[in-house]
């Protein structure tokens, strides 16, 4: 008789990836170990308007010209919860606890169905934001950091986390340049500021403070994103090359 434990990956700790012959059961034993997978997981972190989308688009094209398969993923893009989460945010009716669990569901779905299969296939996975963004955005809203870390304890440690750091004074012109302040990125869901500009400025400064604290303990590669696109891109390529070059030399 076949048992789940007979599968070579059945004892993998944490929230395991999709396996065609066995159901998925979290063990609660810790994060998923991706050290043996041939691919590389690279997270691009940063606040709104830090330039993440622009840099990821450039990185994807550059990596593909280098011969790598690339998967690009990000928050609210999962099939299971992504659409519902986007609708919920438009309605602005959910409490923070529910939103956090919604985000965690989306994250787990993308990890199971996109990220881990791509890493097993030898892809470079570029993720627009990762666990640190969830922590930062929820902590400033009063959620317990220890609880959040426990919720995401199954998340694998990326091979590289690049934090695009931009100061608050540089963020405001960028946001105005694209036409409007975002409701959530202005902290209007929990701050008491009546002025939209003041609320955005206050929220982003609070967010940057939490990100800086996370950087002190998270081993991030901090990239100065106050500079032009080309200089930021050059720094990112240097950091990523150090990670992906091992894929060619070791066969991983």
Question: From the first residue on, what is the mean pLDDT of each consecutive set of 10 residues in the chain (252 residues)?
Answer: 41 39 49 93 92 96 96 74 64 75 89 95 96 91 90 94 91 77 76 82 89 84 95 97 79 48
Task: Give domain status of residue 46, yes or no.
Answer: yes
Task: Give domain status of residue 5, yes or no.
Answer: no
Quote the CA–CA distance of 90 and 92 in Å, as a whole number.
5
pLDDT in tens, 64-84: 999 999 999 987 665 666 576
pLDDT in tens, 113-149: 999 999 999 999 999 999 999 999 899 888 999 999 9
CA angle 16, 53, 122 (to 5 degrees): 40
Cα-based distances in Å from 72 to 79, 124, 212: 14, 9, 25
Domain of residue 223 covers 35-246
Task: Give domain status of residue 143, yes or no.
Answer: yes
Task: Give domain status of residue 167, yes or no.
Answer: yes
Task: Give domain status of residue 28, yes or no.
Answer: no
Please choose, from the candidates 163, 164, 167, 162, the residue with its C-alpha nearest in 3D space to the C-alpha of residue 205: 167
The CATH number linked to 121 is 3.40.50.300
pLDDT score at 248: 62
| Total domain count, the chain | 1
Under 8 Å between Cβ of 163 and 50: no
Task: Give domain status of residue 142, yes or no.
Answer: yes
Task: Give domain status of residue 26, yes or no.
Answer: no
Cα-based distances in Å from 66 to 161, 217, 236, 252: 21, 32, 15, 16
pLDDT score at 84: 66
Task: Give domain status of residue 168, yes or no.
Answer: yes
């Amino acid at each position: 008789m076949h048992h789940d434990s007979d599968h070579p990956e059945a004892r993998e700790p944490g929230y395991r990836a999709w396996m065609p012959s066995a159901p998925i059961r979290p063990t609660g034993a810790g994060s998923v170990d991706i050290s043996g997978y041939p691919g590389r997981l690279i997270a691009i972190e940063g606040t709104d308007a830090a330039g993440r989308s622009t840099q990821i688009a450039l990185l994807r094209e550059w990596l593909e010209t280098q011969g790598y398969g690339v998967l690009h993923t990000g928050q609210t893009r999962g099939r299971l919860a992504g659409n519902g989460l986007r609708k919920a945010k438009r309605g602005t009716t959910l409490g923070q606890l529910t939103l956090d669990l919604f985000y965690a569901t989306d994250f787990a779905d993308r990890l199971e169905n996109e990220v881990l299969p791509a890493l097993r296939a030898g892809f470079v996975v570029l993720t627009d934001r990762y666990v640190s963004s969830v922590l930062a955005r929820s902590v400033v809203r009063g959620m317990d950091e220890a609880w959040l870390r426990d919720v995401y304890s199954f998340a694998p440690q990326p091979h590289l986390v690049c934090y695009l750091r931009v100061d608050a004074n540089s963020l405001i012109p960028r946001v105005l340049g694209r036409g409007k302040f975002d409701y959530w990125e202005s902290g209007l869901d929990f701050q008491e500021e009546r002025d939209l500009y003041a609320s955005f400025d206050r929220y982003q400064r609070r967010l940057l403070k939490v990100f800086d604290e996370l950087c002190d303990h998270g081993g991030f590669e901090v990239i100065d994103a106050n500079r032009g696109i080309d200089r930021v891109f050059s720094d990112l390529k240097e950091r990523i090359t150090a990670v992906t070059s091992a894929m060619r030399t070791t066969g991983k």
